[in-house]
Amino acid sequence: MKTSDFDYHLPPELIAQTPLEPRDSCRLLVLDRRTGSVEHRSFRDLPDYLDPGDVVVMNDSRVLPGRLVGRREATGGRVELLLLRRLGPGTWMVMARPARALRPGVRARVPRAGHEDLEVVVLEAEPDGVRVVRLSTEEGLEVWGQVPLPPYIHARLEDPEAYQTVYAREPGSAAAPTAGLHFTRELLDGLRSRGVELAFVTLHVGLDTFAPVRADDPAAHSIHGEYFELVEREACKLREARASGRRIMAVGTTSVRVLEQVASGLDSGDRMDISETSGWADVYILPGHRFRMVDAMVTNFHLPRTTLLMLVSAFAGREQVLEAYGQAIRRGYRFYSFGDAMLLV
């Protein structure tokens, strides 16, 4: 297996620049991983593929307003920080640009009209543009910060809430768990009325998730952990579903990673002893992985040569997934964060 096995060409005009409204009006490509058959539907048809008692698992992490643009105190030079992870009170790991200008001891200010400047002090320098900084306050970060968008989105986002799921509750992500962006409150209510159970996990998405794999051998790639939580109330839903043989559908690769991380801590023959847990999800899912918790998956169309595309290929087969991607490209599907969706059953 080579990283180049997960490459494909995407015409740039198929990269979605703006979200659709209503959210569930996007297209849905349905891939049956047993037969390889493909259907082309609308996302609002998703309930047709669920039965009463099925459990749909969603990531309720909320994107931080974590893009901070300011100036160095000493020179006035422009700097940009992206909050990646809270390390402690007022202390954050960030991605810094230009990194060479932000050495330990450097101070910067992030202005906002009508407010005092947010003060930033660089504490430590780490490789690849990562810095540890101290912020003068964490209260009301949305005053100074902006919701960060992926670099392939060039259009201005009119409503920052469009890059949040309607069920986002727990702030902490550097990017949205985008498969969930397609759900409306009405669609969620429709699933509940159909007897489908909704369960929520939390995984705070980091930027490494979207980075291309640069090693020729995917197994040589290092994947960074992302913080996750599974509370007892939601663990109980999963435990009961497994005990009774009901299906679990994961919404997005982040939900898949939580579920498979939890499964990796269980005895090899035990699929039901699921309990409250938290920690760092560092499970690396490549073709050959045996899925123990996920029976179906909703996901977006992913960038080539990424661990996300490899995860989807592990679930549904690389050749079938890339063939489905080819169909989507020929039919003009919208790709990436604001794009259309896939359902793998």
**Residue 72 is inside which H or E element, if any?**
strand 67-72
CATH topology identical between 3-63+158-344 and 67-143 = no
Q: Is the pLDDT of residue 13 over 70?
A: yes
What pLDDT, on the 0 to 100 scale, is given for residue 208?
A: 72
CATH match for 67-143 among 3.90.245.10, 2.40.10.240, 3.40.190.10, 3.65.10.10: 2.40.10.240
Return the CATH superfamily for domain 3-63+158-344: QueA-like (3.40.1780.10)
Whole-angstrom distance, CA of residue 98 vs CA of residue 287: 37
Q: How confident is the model at residue 210 (pLDDT cuts 50, 70, 90)?
A: low
Q: How confident is the model at residue 309 (pLDDT cuts 50, 70, 90)?
A: very high
Q: Long-range contacts of range 183-189, CB-CB < 8 Å, 24 or more positions apart?
A: 183/23, 183/24, 183/58, 183/251, 184/22, 184/23, 184/24, 186/24, 187/24, 187/43, 187/44, 187/46, 187/47
**How is the chain split into domains, by residue range?**
3-63+158-344, 67-143
What pLDDT, on the 0 to 100 scale, is given for residue 114?
A: 85
Q: Cis peptide before 22, with omega less than 30 degrees from 0? A: yes
In single-letter form, the type of residue at position 296 comes to A
Q: What is the pLDDT of residues 217-256, one digit of tens each?
A: 999 998 888 999 999 999 999 999 999 999 999 999 999 9
What pLDDT, on the 0 to 100 scale, is given for residue 136?
A: 94
The residues that bridge with 228 in the sheet, in sequence order, are 203, 279
What pLDDT, on the 0 to 100 scale, is given for residue 218?
A: 94
